[in-house]
Structure 1
Amino acid sequence: MKALIFAAGLGERMRPLTEHTPKPLLSVAGVPLIEWHLQRLAALGISDVVVNTSWLATQFPQTLGDGNRWGLRLHYLYEGPVPLETGGGMHNALPLLGDAPFLAVNGDIWSDFDFAHLPREPKGNAHLLMVDNPDHHPRGDFILSADGQLHDNGDAPRLTFAGIGVYRPQLLQDWQAVIGDADGSAETPPRFKLAPLLRAAMANTAVSGQHHQGRWTDVGTPERLQQLDKQLVVGAA
């Protein structure tokens, strides 16, 4: 299995911290956010990791090198000055990810979740990790039913997508039919969001999920970064 780390965001909500450092390279407890993922991917036995980049892209190889210190091979994929969004970024990375299912994780989150608890082969086209809704996202994203299927519609309580999942390349096979003429879809390479493809797959019961009730943080603001840093430092003491 290979992996993709989404690291191409502009980090606008994290300024001024991201004026000179891309968000996935900001540190918590002395370790860059992205390195926490690299450690867990290496522990899982993954050898090849694609890191998509945009803002301050040259800092990633300067900081992380070729991945050898974790027993990984890092492949940096520059998307240009404007990120391709999650769907476009995943589509752009497919030639490096191959034909088998792959793990993808957002570079700006932190969690104590063990990637080994994810399935190597999703039942459908995607398997997503869900978490309890944080204060900044109280409405959640999707509904996880008792049979492990994810749904976009329904009356049951929603959970929040953790930014961690396993995907089959087939999820993006007919992306144009789902995305249509959305802004950026006609560009080369195309720029589009992943969520519409996930919702279309859910309508065909092709997305499963699981609920992680451990620790998880979407490091979207300087305040959340500072709070997470304090928690990890205290926990390590």
Structure 2
Amino acid sequence: MKAVILAGGRGTRLHPFTRRMPKPLVPLLNKPVMEYSIELLKKHGISDIIVTLQYLGDQIVNYFGDGSRWGVNLSYVLEDAPLGTAGSVKNAEDLLDEPFIVISGDALTDFDLIDGLVFHLQNKSLFTVFMKEVKNPAKFGIIQTDHNGKIKRFLEKPQKDQEFSRVVNTGIYIVDPHVLCLMEKNREYDFSKELFPKLMENNMGLYGFKAKGYWKDIGSHEDYRQAQYDMLERKVQVSLQEEDVLPKLWVGSHVRYIRGSSFSEKSSKSKTLVKAGF
């Protein structure tokens, strides 16, 4: 099975971090946020990964290369101009000949992707949306499904008086490649605003899978900060390079901690100290 990582967005809400750095490279506890997506895919046995690029894409290529450092095979598809979430996947159509996973390069999650795939296959779905219940759905697309998981209603970024659900679209999908035939190539196209309505109108098997686990869109300074608190508090199951020596206090591999006293440097190179709130 293949995966597509969407890594072309400008991340304007994270300025000034993203003025000279693409959002997928913004660090969460000393690792680019996209690195966690790659590790999640590898954990689930998905090693053939296509990355869609546009804004400052060369930086992403320079950092991740062919993916061999992470035990995966990365290939890149570059957009000359922004094509939107769905348009960027359409742009990689020639590389997609079987159901594939779409995941964001700028969100943090530990969802069980195989559970979603099983749901997708059991329901003979053409397009499955990973869903998550949140406290404030105003920033996302809200979803209502029937008892089988088929999506009946969807509304992008609702006003308070429009909210009919707190279950939202996480931007993680399992997609049958036949869906790509519904879109034109080389034009901007959005999954939620354009493709979802078309699938629902034609009763074409748009399903929602209520995923278990952690998910956070790193779209604002507040969410960016909170995600790192959550990582330090082990609310999300990800691989961290540092060692936890005290609650919410982690130390890098080149730093020696002497209990009962202050930190003592073991090496002058690559010293790392990670603490919530830094």
Q: Is the aligned partner of 1:167 residue 2:168?
A: no
Structure 1 CA distance for aligned equivalents of residues 101 and 15 of structure 2: 29
Amino acid paired to 1:146: H
Report the CA distance between 1:198 and its aligned residue: 1.8
* SS, match of residue 89 in structure 2: helix
1:42 paired residue number: 42
Identity of aligned residues (%): 30
CA offset digits 1:147-197 (Å, max 9, x no partner):
111122699635210111100111121335xxxxxxxxxxx7221112221
Structure 1-normalised TM-score? Answer: 0.86
Contact conserved, 1:149 with 1:205, CA < 8 A, in 2?
A: no
In structure 2, relative to structure 1, the CA distance for the partners of 1:142 and 1:136 (3 Å cut) is closer
* Residue pair 2:142, 2:154 contacting (<8 A) in 1 also: no
Residue 187 of structure 2: aligned partner? 190
Give the distance between the partners of 2:188 and 2:141, measured in 1 at CA. Answer: 24
Task: Name the CA distance, whole Å, in 1 between partners of 2:137 and 2:219.
Answer: 10
- Higher normalized contact order (CA 8 Å, seq sep 6+, divided by chain length): 1
Aligned to 1:87: 86
2:102 matched residue in structure 1:
104
Aligned 1:66-81 pairs, distance under 5 A: 66-80=66-80
- Greater Rg over alpha carbons, structure: 2
Q: Tell me the C-alpha RMSD between the 2 structures.
A: 2.2
**Equivalent position of 1:128 in the other structure:** 129
Aligned counterparts of 2:140 and 2:101: Cα–Cα separation in 1: 26
Partner of 2:165: 157
Give the secondary structure class of the aligned counterpart of 1:76. Answer: strand
Deviations 1:42-95 (A, max 9, x none): 122222111111111111121112101222110111112x32101110110111
Secondary structure at 1:119's aligned position in 2?
A: helix
Q: Report the equivalent of 2:17.
A: 17
Q: What residue identity is the alignment partner of 1:131? A: K
Listed as ranges, the gaps of 5+ residues in structure 2 are 156-162, 235-239, 245-278
Distance apart, 1:143 and its partner CA = 0.8
- TM-score normalised per structure 2: 0.74
Of 163-172 and 127-136, more deviation after overlay is shown by 127-136
Distance 2:226 2:175 in 1: 31
Decide whether the 8 Å contact of 2:145 with 2:153 is kept in 1.
Answer: no
Unaligned runs of 5+ in 1: 177-187
Distance 1:17 1:134, change over 3 A: farther
CA distance in 2, matches of 1:161, 1:153: 9
Q: 1:158 to 1:171 in 2, by over 3 A?
A: farther
Q: d(CA) in 1 for partners of 2:139 and 2:103? A: 21
Q: Secondary structure at the match of 1:9?
A: coil
Contact preservation (8 Å) 1:150, 1:205: no
How far apart, CA to CA, are the structure 2 residues paired with 1:93 and 1:168? 14
Number of positions where the alignment pairs a residue of Structure 1 with one of Structure 2: 224
Q: Separation in 1 of the partners of 2:43 and 2:140?
A: 33
In structure 1, what is the equivalent of residue 267 of structure 2?
A: none
Higher strand share: 2
Distance 1:60 1:172 in 2: 26
Query: Which amino acid counterpart does residue 6 of structure 2 have in structure 1?
Result: F
Which one-letter code corresponds to 1:163 in the other structure? G
Which piece of structure 1 moves more, 155-164 or 31-40? Answer: 155-164
